[in-house]
Amino acid sequence: MIALSDYLILSSIVFCIGLAGIFINRTNIIMLLMCVELILAAVNTNFIAFSYFSGDLAGQIFVFFILTVAAAEVAIGLAILTLMFRSRGSIDIDVTNTLKG
């Protein structure tokens, strides 16, 4: 039997990988999108685990919404990426430094 704490540890590890990926990764924007997805996957694991162990369905319903929003989010992200490729001919992060800060 897998305990609730195991799920929570797994999700926190995935969450940290996602967060670290965003801050360490300095090359590619697609990678950033993947890291965001990792964070959301960690959240989903959390919700499902809590929901399963407490017998409350609301958490699992929340996960459906997160999945849908994540799909919409990636759609917009990729659209912005396409625009960026069109204007710069590259999707590397190094090139995106016109605005300092």
Partner 1 sequence: MMNFQFNVSELIFVLPELFLLSAISIILLFDLFASERLKPLTYYLTQLALIITGWLAFDLIGESAIIFSGTFVLDTMGSTFKVFIMGFAIIALVYTRHYLKAHELLRNEYFILALMSILGMMVMVSGHSLLTLYMGLEIMSLSLYALIASARDRAVAIEAALKYFVLGAIASGLLLYGMSMIYGITGSLDIAQISNFARASTLASQQTLILNFGLVFLVIGVAFKLGAVPFHMWVPDVYQGSPTSVTMFLSTVPKIAAIALLIRLLIDGLGDLQHYWSDLLMIIAVLSIALGSLVALMQSNIKRMLAYSTISHIGFVLLGFVTGVVEGYGAAVFYVLVYILMSLAAFGSIIVLNKNGFEADQISDYQGLSKHSPWFALIILVVMLSMAGVPPFIGFYSKLFILQQVIAEGYIILAVIAVVFAVISAYYYLQIIKTMYFDDADKEITVSAPLDMRVVLSINGILILLVGLMPSFWMSLSVSLF
Least distance to partner 1, CB of residue 9, Å? 13
Give, as ranges, the residues between 10 and 29 that touch partner 1 (CB under 8 A).
15, 18-19, 22, 29
Q: Mutual orientation of helices 29-54 and 4-24 as an angle, nearest 10°?
A: 170
Distance CA 70, CA 47 (A): 15
Q: Mutual orientation of helices 29-54 and 58-88 as an angle, nearest 10°?
A: 180
Contacts of 44 (CB under 8 A, 6+ apart): 63, 66, 67
Q: Which of 9, 58, 67, 92 binds partner 1 (CB under 8 A)?
A: 58
Q: Does 2 bind partner 1 (CB under 8 A)?
A: no
Q: Interface residues with partner 1 (CB under 8 A)?
A: 8, 15, 18-19, 22, 29, 32, 36, 39-40, 42-43, 46-47, 49-50, 54-59, 61-62, 65-66, 69, 72-73, 76-77, 79-81, 83-84, 87-88, 96, 98-101
